[in-house]
Chain A
């Protein structure tokens, strides 16, 4: 320690939603580079978009409630389902996962921040501005309307004139920058900033799954970036990438999109798997069953995820050889995924289970993802898939994996980590209302879709005629959606209210075993006053209940490494200090990432003016904000971090 006198703790009433001694006010949020605050910003923003996407889904369900309904026009319906999908994938599930990456990864590996705190702030601001850019057009009836997959040539100027697709193409490019910047940051953080003794095979499983996801991001996003550039060039500069008359391949977009799109599915689900793998052991009072195999299956899922993209394209007629190869690769992914399911069940087996709300969400992930997984294995077979493709059966399948898997897992994560983030528990009573209305509601919504799909109801139709046997299934789905809406209201109320009125949480809110629970709730800005060295996978259980992890190997890192990092044995910290009194250098707050993000988004968005016939305005906006972007970047890179 740099200081000689013992630092004095700050005494404030427990249960504030900020760590005491921290700056508050809007400026502190605009200039923050603290990974925990950025994580909190991600959480709030993504939940806001979740409500938007939920309203869109609810309008869709109201429209489909009865045959020949005329609540919304066909054109508006196209915008609604496109924006529901795009929002849920890029503005809700990915950023909710990013909220947990930000908040948890440094805490779980025993670091004081991410590797590049300012880049982290930049990622968030780009996400926020990109999200606004994508969402606002729906209020002017010009929202994207080509589906979340945006198939070209359907989305070229010839078939989709107007601004709708422009917002989609440019919006996705913007969000891609955000995801990629964050991914480079987290890869570096996880590889390089682990506390002494935190070997890769001692990392908490959430960090492991996040690590896999970052690699999926950096390797999958370039493919869609290029596909989007081609589409952008086709729409704005007259290139011919998707021009069939010029000899273009009508499948080029589909291949590039799904080379990204399938790994994207694992980008959405693996963080939720990671959260469930933290929750299940904690409430079963048992270490995760088969940790190593869980890690290897996560890696295997990520790896195989790059070799199965064409199973989204069985209907285009690729030929028997390609179909067979992709079908077999898809079946193979069922193995590591099944291993995970069984390991979660084995984790609970014989455990001392506490049915908290978080635990219920985690268990429901295991159950509901299994249903979605099984229907996934069904249409990995091309002959079966040809019957099911583009029907509501597919809609049922991917809502079971994305809602039943990702959303349920993330909701569990929110109940589980809320006490760490805000220093207070969420209400279990309201949480139970939320859980049961989500659980029953989602099954009521999505299970009948299997039947509607098998009876031939196609996806993406805005209305349907009577007498095809779809009426009662659609009605059930709409009632289920209503129930989910009730659950969402309970959740939002609970989330907002508990910040001030929830029960105050101690350091270790649930009796969990990983590093983030050894520090105060909410954590101080420096996270760890003294970096602990780690000797096992559940270090907190070692000091509290050594008998629980007795069978795991415990080895301390080399003395040289410990001295290098000034690390001390694993301990609990309960007092708040200022970083200054502890002599810990903190990154300066800075507004530069905010402006860099703002100008970059303006630079990319300026292109839209070309299709408003305002060519010189476009040039002016793009060059002006481009120069301002480069300027802020230079200002940022030449100023010291801490």
Chain B
């Protein structure tokens, strides 16, 4: 592949040191370029959401109460008091519930870090008198699965959020808020789902032959970079879309 002379016909796990100009592996540079590109993708989505904030003509709105029939919009329930109860649309974003899923996603980044550390430290014997926690920390399978489960939990929360919004009358077709909200968070959810698939693939490899050595550290490392990026994007989305009213 690269410039160095290496024995021909290598299989997956041999240790190869290809010469590179920077000393970094190619895949590591490529994943950073991908992340740069993804920044622009989410920047376009988030800007569109912010541009369309407050431009929807009918409810439900993210943070305001409204009345379906009279189109009255207000910050409190009292403003739409004259509205028939069946026509009252509540502010739809549920910050407490989404805070839980945000917490889970952020914790998954911690698990990801521990998974990478576990793969990096493979081959180091456990210290004498290591307890269950040390053994747990050394298990890359455990942390990979933990990360994937937390990612899947986030997706579960999102599915719950989406279905409850649909029940409250907000679909992707309802108004500009619906279109831009579902598209933005849906793109993020799709990224998390790809990440979960990626993590499960790594887990399967780990079960099958054990992840260890320089090449495998890189495999986990690029997945981790992607995962942390998806997390950071969620911090931006959560702040801009949920917290700022």
The residues of A with any CB-CB pair to B shorter than 8 Å are 1-2, 110-113, 115-117, 180, 183-185, 187-188, 191-196, 198, 218-223, 225-227, 229-230, 233, 237-241, 246-249, 252, 256, 259, 531, 564-567, 580, 583-587, 634, 640-642
For chain B, residues 48 to 103, give those with C-beta under 8 angstroms from any C-beta of chain A: 48, 51-52, 55-57
Chain A positions within 8 Å of B22 at CB level: 191-192
Bound-complex Cα distance A640 to B14 (A): 11
Chain A positions within 8 Å of B136 at CB level: none
**Contacting A585 at CB < 8 Å: which of B8, B41, B43?**
B8
B24 within 8 A of A: yes
**Contacting A219 at CB < 8 Å: which of B2, B37, B172, B176?**
B37
| CB pair A223 B36 closer than 8 Å | no
Chain A positions within 8 Å of B2 at CB level: 111-112, 193
**Contacting B57 at CB < 8 Å: which of A223, A230, A238, A246?**
A246
Chain A positions within 8 Å of B29 at CB level: 115, 187-188, 191-192
| CB pair B3 A565 closer than 8 Å | yes
| CB pair B180 A252 closer than 8 Å | no
Q: How far is the CB of A205 from chain B (nearest CB, A)?
A: 18
| CB pair A641 B1 closer than 8 Å | yes
Chain B positions within 8 Å of A220 at CB level: 40
13 new A-B pairs (CB below 8 Å) besides A183-B33, A183-B37, A640-B12? Answer: A112-B2, A185-B30, A188-B27, A193-B2, A193-B3, A218-B37, A229-B183, A230-B48, A239-B183, A241-B180, A259-B44, A567-B3, A642-B1
Chain B positions within 8 Å of A634 at CB level: 201
Bound-complex Cα distance A252 to B180 (A): 12
**Contacting B183 at CB < 8 Å: which of A110, A117, A233, A256?**
A233
Bound-complex Cα distance A580 to B5 (A): 12
Q: A193-B20, A565-B19, A585-B1 are in contact. Are A247 and B57 (CB under 8 A)?
A: yes
For chain B, residues 156 to 183, give those with C-beta under 8 angstroms from any C-beta of chain A: 172-173, 175-176, 178-180, 183
Q: A230-B183, A241-B179, A585-B7 are in contact. Are A219 and B1 (CB under 8 A)?
A: no
B38 within 8 A of A: yes
**Contacting B26 at CB < 8 Å: which of A192, A259, A566?**
A192
Nearest-CB residue, chain A, relative to B180: A241
Nearest-CB residue, chain B, relative to A185: B30
Chain A positions within 8 Å of B178 at CB level: 239-240
Bound-complex Cα distance A530 to B2 (A): 12
Best-buried of B2, B7, B34, B180 by chain A (most CB within 10 Å)? B2
Nearest-CB residue, chain A, relative to B55: A247
Chain A positions within 8 Å of B5 at CB level: 1-2, 566, 583-584
B113 within 8 A of A: no
| CB pair B48 A252 closer than 8 Å | yes
B15 within 8 A of A: no
Chain B positions within 8 Å of A198 at CB level: 21
Best-buried of A111, A191, A252, A586 by chain B (most CB within 10 Å)? A191
B45 within 8 A of A: yes
- Number of cross-chain contacts by CB at 8 Å: 157
B4 within 8 A of A: yes
Chain A positions within 8 Å of B40 at CB level: 218-220, 222-223
Q: A218-B37, A248-B52 are in contact. Are A223 and B44 (CB under 8 A)?
A: yes
26 pairs from A and B in contact (CB 8 Å cutoff): A112-B1, A116-B30, A187-B29, A187-B33, A188-B26, A192-B24, A193-B20, A196-B3, A198-B21, A218-B34, A222-B40, A222-B44, A223-B40, A223-B44, A226-B48, A238-B173, A240-B178, A241-B48, A247-B56, A247-B176, A249-B55, A256-B48, A583-B5, A585-B6, A585-B8, A586-B8
Q: Which 10 A-B pairs have the closest CB atoms?
A: A222-B41, A222-B40, A226-B44, A239-B179, A218-B37, A565-B19, A115-B26, A247-B55, A238-B173, A585-B8
Nearest-CB residue, chain B, relative to A237: B172
**Contacting B21 at CB < 8 Å: which of A113, A191, A233, A248?**
A191
B10 within 8 A of A: yes
| CB pair B33 A184 closer than 8 Å | yes
Q: How far is the CB of B94 from chain A (nearest CB, A)?
A: 22
Produce 1/0 per residue, B104-134, CB < 8 A to A: 0000000000000000000000000000000
Chain A positions within 8 Å of B180 at CB level: 241
Chain A positions within 8 Å of B201 at CB level: 634
Q: How far is the CB of A540 from chain B (nearest CB, A)?
A: 19
Bound-complex Cα distance A251 to B78 (A): 36
| CB pair B3 A111 closer than 8 Å | yes
Bound-complex Cα distance A366 to B38 (A): 36
The residues of B with any CB-CB pair to A shorter than 8 Å are 1-12, 19-22, 24, 26-27, 29-30, 33-34, 36-38, 40-41, 43-45, 48, 51-52, 55-57, 172-173, 175-176, 178-180, 183, 201
**Contacting A226 at CB < 8 Å: which of B4, B34, B45?**
B45
Bound-complex Cα distance A110 to B21 (A): 11
Nearest-CB residue, chain A, relative to B58: A246
Q: A184-B30, A218-B33, A249-B55 are in contact. Are A640 and B10 (CB under 8 A)?
A: yes
Bound-complex Cα distance A3 to B180 (A): 62
Chain B positions within 8 Å of A184 at CB level: 30, 33-34, 37
Chain B positions within 8 Å of A221 at CB level: 37
Chain B positions within 8 Å of A249 at CB level: 51-52, 55
Q: How far is the CB of A308 from chain B (nearest CB, A)?
A: 17
Bound-complex Cα distance A113 to B2 (A): 7
Nearest-CB residue, chain A, relative to B20: A192
Best-buried of B12, B29, B178 by chain A (most CB within 10 Å)? B29
Chain A positions within 8 Å of B12 at CB level: 640
Nearest-CB residue, chain A, relative to B56: A247
Chain A positions within 8 Å of B21 at CB level: 191-194, 198
| CB pair B8 A642 closer than 8 Å | yes
Chain B positions within 8 Å of A188 at CB level: 26-27, 29-30, 33
Q: A247-B56, A641-B1 are in contact. Are A240 and B37 (CB under 8 A)?
A: no
| CB pair B173 A239 closer than 8 Å | yes
Nearest-CB residue, chain A, relative to B29: A188
| CB pair A240 B175 closer than 8 Å | yes
Chain A positions within 8 Å of B51 at CB level: 249, 252
Nearest-CB residue, chain B, relative to A642: B1
Q: How far is the CB of B147 from chain A (nearest CB, A)?
A: 20
Chain B positions within 8 Å of A238 at CB level: 172-173
Chain A positions within 8 Å of B45 at CB level: 226
Bound-complex Cα distance A192 to B56 (A): 48
Q: How far is the CB of B219 from chain A (nearest CB, A)?
A: 10
Q: A188-B29, A237-B172, A246-B175 are in contact. Are A531 and B3 (CB under 8 A)?
A: yes
Chain B positions within 8 Å of A110 at CB level: 3
Bound-complex Cα distance A246 to B40 (A): 26
Bound-complex Cα distance A218 to B5 (A): 32
Q: How far is the CB of A149 from chain B (nearest CB, A)?
A: 17
Bound-complex Cα distance A291 to B27 (A): 31
Nearest-CB residue, chain B, relative to A226: B44
Q: How far is the CB of A378 from chain B (nearest CB, A)?
A: 31
| CB pair A565 B1 closer than 8 Å | no
Q: How far is the CB of B75 from chain A (nearest CB, A)?
A: 20
Bound-complex Cα distance A113 to B3 (A): 9
Bound-complex Cα distance A584 to B18 (A): 12
Chain B positions within 8 Å of A564 at CB level: 4, 19
Chain B positions within 8 Å of A247 at CB level: 52, 55-57, 175-176
Bound-complex Cα distance A634 to B30 (A): 19
Bound-complex Cα distance A188 to B26 (A): 6
Bound-complex Cα distance A184 to B7 (A): 27
Bound-complex Cα distance A139 to B6 (A): 52
Chain A positions within 8 Å of B43 at CB level: 222
| CB pair B1 A113 closer than 8 Å | yes
Nearest-CB residue, chain B, relative to A238: B173
Q: How far is the CB of B9 from chain A (nearest CB, A)?
A: 7
Chain A positions within 8 Å of B1 at CB level: 112-113, 117, 585, 587, 641-642
